[in-house]
Amino acid sequence: MAKTDHHLKTIRIWLTLFIIGLALSGITAFPLETELNWLADSFSDPNTRLAQWIDSCRDAVVYVNAHYPFLSYGTDWLAFAHLVLALVFVGPWIDPVKNIWVIQFGLMACLAVLPLAFIAGPIRGIPFYWQLIDCSFGLFGSIPLLIALKHTSQLEKLAA
5-16 pLDDT, tens per residue? 999 999 999 999
Place 46 in a pLDDT band, splitting at 50, 70 and 90. Answer: confident
pLDDT attached to residue 10: 98
Comparing 160 with 78, which gets the higher pLDDT?
78
**What average pLDDT does range 39-51 have in this prediction?**
91
| C-beta contacts of 93-98 below 8 A and 24+ residues apart | 93/11, 93/12, 93/15, 93/16, 93/19, 96/8, 96/11, 96/15, 96/148, 96/151, 96/152, 96/155, 97/152, 97/155, 97/156, 97/159
Backbone angles phi, psi at 17, to 5 degrees: -60, -40
pLDDT(1) > 80: no
Tell whether the model's pLDDT for residue 149 goes beyond 90: yes
What is the percent of the chain with per-residue pLDDT over 90, rounded to a whole number? 94
Burial classification of residue 137, based on how many CB atoms lie within 10 Å of its CB (0-12 exposed, 13-18 middle, 19 or more buried) = middle
Q: Residue 160's pLDDT band (boundaries 50, 70, 90)?
A: confident
| All structural domains of the chain with their residue ranges | 2-31+77-159
Q: Is the pTM of this model over 0.85?
A: yes
Q: What is the mean pLDDT of the chain?
A: 96
User: How sure is the predictor about 44, in pLDDT bands with cuts at 50, 70 and 90?
Assistant: confident
